[in-house]
Amino acid sequence: MRRVAITGIGVVSPLGGDAASFFEALAAGRSAVRRLEGRYHERLTTRVGAPAPFDGASHFPAPKLRMLDRVSQLALVAAAQALEEAKGALEGVDPKRAGVFVGTGMGGAQTTDEGYHTIYAESSDRVKPFSVLMAMNNAAASWIGLEHGLRGPNLTYSTACSSSAVAIGEAARRIAAGEADVMIAGGAEAPLNFGTLKAWDAMRTLAPEDPDDPSASCKPFAKDRSGLVLGEGAAMVVLEDAGRAAARGARVRAELAGYGLATDGEHITRPTVAGQALTLRRALEDAGIEAASVDYINAHGTGTQANDAVETAAIKEVFGERAYRIPVSSTKSMHGHLLGAAGALEFVAALLAMETKVVPPTINLRVRDPECDLDYVSEGARGVAKLAVALSSSFAFGGTNAVLIARTET
Amino acid sequence: MTTLERLRELLARDFALKPEALVPGATLESLDIDSLRMIEILFCVEDEFKIAVSAEQSELRARLKTLGDLAAYIDTLVAEKQKAAT
């Protein structure tokens, strides 16, 4: 099996439109969560979210823009950034051995929402002719492949909140197996339209607005945590055969060392300790490292009662006594839950933590929960002496769990 | 404004086509207007001229080769609509 190098990172997030501004905000403990002011949003029971400060019109000419749902716009910009950073990753590569794997939960949900608004709310038959092409779940991945002329595998993974962790892990497998040389992998999500928000609202899983500070509404691992907050954005990485990356003198950000995939198999939403623990163990096994080598965990940490307690228990089961000495943070407290893009964005957060040796904090954790008793870095960002192995967890509705491990020292 | 002028304005504004290329004899092919793009242009034309283009794709392809053809076709539809209204 070949080793997999990460040579490019691209981010369009609620906390900033590139990787540097994203991580700077994380390290400063800044939250992008706020009250949503869009059309019909006053009808939401809970109306906080983490929108990305992103205007497609400043990235695409009008004719192109009209063919792209917001989710594809975000994905294309993040992918272009990642390729730009990976300078020359596609030069000299056989396009038939370069591909794109993207994770998204809701795909072009905004187009669907607007189309339904037209036909139902406005009683009009004037549905946009490109609605299908904009809303289809594989649009984002397809556009990235088209834009960069990639003719290898182009796949879209939709496993809810683990979609993009799966996309990255599966892409790495293709490279490791020698089936592809360069892959663009990540996720994108744009769920802040009214229809999608209302559906989440109806599930009663969204955190109500914090009465004192809307930006503090998402409280992962806290006793008073009350649900998740939805966010939008995209994150992409460029993965390359490590030998090729070394030969071309590429700046290797980290090695994608391990990928674990397993399914709870018990309930459509309720997570299980066994399922999460199995996924963590598989990732460690795949990376060929001991649990003791992990220096940082970017947790799934949604801020729901169920996830955070189960995740804490799963970490303790796998890491034993050492669980208490590994910094574990949920950056969702700041950028919200990006659903299909969450795994990729949080994996990037872990990569940047390794690069800077700064562990981003879990904000809004003031009231301790005896069930959540790990080191969640709640005091603010923490500089550390060693951060060579980082792990990022993604656990999903439907039960498909994915864990990614990156390392900088071999 | 003539139909052609309105059409040129719409194509330049919404589809980023160069105004100087939008002459009556310009073929749709030379303007890079493929069948998919044409569907969207017709959608905008329907809004702009308050008409309905009900013809099938194959009929449109046979009938519309140039920008001038499209302008003339729009004129026909507008005239038919006015006639139906009177």
Which residues of chain A neighbour B13 with C-beta distances below 8 Å?
62
CA distance B13 to chain A (A): 8
Q: pLDDT at position A88, please?
A: 94
Residue A37 contacts by C-beta under 8 Å, 6 or more apart in sequence? none
* A-B Cβ pairs (cutoff 8 Å, strict): 18
A333-350: pLDDT as tens digits: 999 999 999 999 999 999
A275-306 per-position pLDDT tens digit: 999 999 999 999 999 999 999 999 999 999 99
pLDDT at A136 over 80: yes
Question: What kind and span of H or E run contains A378?
Answer: none
Range from A64-78, A339-353, A371-385, B32-46 carrying the lowest mean pLDDT: B32-46
Confidence of residue A156 (pLDDT cuts 50, 70, 90): very high
Res A131: pLDDT: 97
Residue A410 pLDDT grade (very low, low, confident, very high; cuts 50, 70, 90): low
Is A66 an interface residue toward B (CB < 8 Å)?
A: yes
Residues 6+ apart with CB under 8 A from A122: none
Residues A151-181 as b or e (16 or more Cβ within 10 Å = b): ebbbbbbbbbbbbbbbbbbbbbbbbbeeebb
Domains of chain A: 4-247 (3.40.47.10), 257-407 (3.40.47.10)
**Model pLDDT, residue A284:** 98
| C-alpha to C-alpha distance for A184 and A144, rounded to whole angstroms | 9
The pLDDT, as a whole number, for residue A24 is 98
Which chain B residues touch A126 with a CB distance below 8 Å? 43, 47
Distance from CA of A63 to the nearest CA of B (A): 5
Chain A hits for B12, CB-CB cut-off 8 Å, are: none
Contact A182, A247 (CB under 8 A): no
CA of A393, closest CA in chain B: separation in Å?
A: 41
Give residues with Cβ within 8 angstroms of B58, minimum separation 6. none
Give dist(CA A121, CA A115) in Å, integer: 10
Question: Is the Cβ of A130 closer than 8 Å to some Cβ of chain B?
Answer: yes
**Does B39 contact A at CB distance below 8 Å?**
yes
Tens of pLDDT, residue by residue over B16-73, are: 999 999 999 999 999 999 988 999 999 999 999 999 998 888 888 889 999 999 999 9
Interval A178-199: pLDDT, tens: 999 999 999 999 999 999 999 9
Segment A24-56, tens digit of pLDDT: 999 999 999 999 999 999 999 999 999 999 999
Determine whether the interchain pair A66/B14 forms a contact, defined as Cβ–Cβ distance below 8 Å.
yes
- Under an 8 A CB cutoff, do A63 and B43 touch? no
Q: Is B14 on the interface with A (CB under 8 A)?
A: yes
Query: Which of A61, A63, A129 is closest, CB to CB, to B43?
Result: A129
Shortest Cα–Cα distance, B79 to chain A (Å)? 22
Q: Is A118 part of the contact surface with chain B (CB cutoff 8 Å)?
A: no
Asked whether A233 and A15 are in contact (CB, 8 A), the reply is: no
Cα separation, A124 vs A101, in Å, equals: 36
pLDDT at site B86: 81
Pick one of 3.30.260.10, 3.40.50.970, 3.40.50.620, 1.10.1200.10 as the CATH number of B3-85: 1.10.1200.10
Helices assigned H by DSSP within A222-341: 242-247, 273-287, 305-319, 332-335
Query: Catalytic residue positions of A?
Result: 161, 300, 337
Residue ranges covered by each domain of chain B: 3-85
Alpha helices (runs of H) in A58-185, residue ranges in sequence order: 62-65, 70-85, 109-116, 131-135, 139-148, 163-176
- Of all residues in chain A, the one with the smallest CA distance to B33 is A63
> Measured between CB atoms, does B15 come within 8 Å of chain A?
yes
* The predicted structure's pLDDT at residue A124: 96
Closest CA to A167 of A244, A284, A75: A75
**Interchain contact B26–A (C-beta under 8 A):** no
Task: Tell me the shortest Cα–Cα distance from A315 to chain B, in angstroms.
Answer: 51
Q: Which of B10, B36, B53, B60 to mutate to test the interface with A (most CBs of A within 10 A)?
A: B36
- Strand pairing report for A48-49 and A389-394: unpaired
Provide, rounded to the nearest whole percent, the portion of chain A with pLDDT above 70: 100
Is the pLDDT score of A152 beyond 90?
yes
pTM reported for the whole predicted model: 0.96
Across the strands, what pairs with A13? A16
Rounded to the nearest integer, the mean pLDDT of chain A is 97
Inform me whether the pLDDT recorded for A396 exceeds 90.
yes
Position B85 scores a pLDDT of 86
